[in-house]
Amino acid sequence: MKRWLWLPAVLTVVMLLLILNSSPAAEPALAVVPHRMIALTFDDGPDPAYTLPILQILRERGLHATFFLIGRNALAYPDIVRQIAREGHLIANHTLTHPQLQDLSEQQVRAELEGFTAVMTSILGPDARLSPYFRPPRGKESTAITQAVDLLKLQTVLWNVCVENHATSAPQDVFARVTQLVEARNGGILLAHDGELDRTLTVRSLPLLLDGLLAKGYRVVPLDEYLDASQAAADY
């Protein structure tokens, strides 16, 4: 049976298992950029055409990233999910089906978020370390999303710089644009994508971009380290 056929069953289960406890709200990670520090994040995967070469690029440089995966894509490529975890990258919640989340009720949002967790548990096992990070599709937010995120004790993480842009069509253009934005902010959370659309330019640009930023003295760190440094800078 193809793994995507599990989706109706997963949705049914998570609708019945909605968690009813609450916790304080978590602020999106945007306000304070740690000095010359970068966190790499990738949305919308996994997709073998893009996720696998991205993993190789990161492996060659000894770098780690956070992959905000879509549950249905994870079901289609569970071996890639296991590879992401095995190579030390963080896996984070980008919903089960990547809907227009801002248009859904709180119960529907919770089903999307818990559906993702159910998929990850089915792939990685019940003892897998799942990060608490969540990114809403397209960065859209709503009261229902905030309430569901709070209830499930997740932390919304947005971004400071998006790697992709319709105005850029060559790796050198991507490098110039992203570097300018990073230097204006002195670092930040970088958003790139490894699924859903054609991400060939992203894959082609990544080595030039990473090598260039490292040469300029930026530190590329895991997202949890970035967020800890951001909180420390905010508290200082």
User: Contact 124/98 with Cβ under 8 angstroms?
Assistant: no
Is 43 a catalytic site residue? Answer: yes
Residue 89 designated active-site: no
Give the count of beta carbons closer than 10 Å to the beta carbon of residue 20.
5
Active-site residue (options: 173, 193, 211, 228): 193
How many Å apart are CA 190 and CA 162, to the nearest integer? 6
Are 164 and 192 spatial neighbours (Cβ–Cβ below 8 Å)? yes
Select which of 43, 44, 47, 194 is catalytic.
43
Catalytic residues: 43, 193
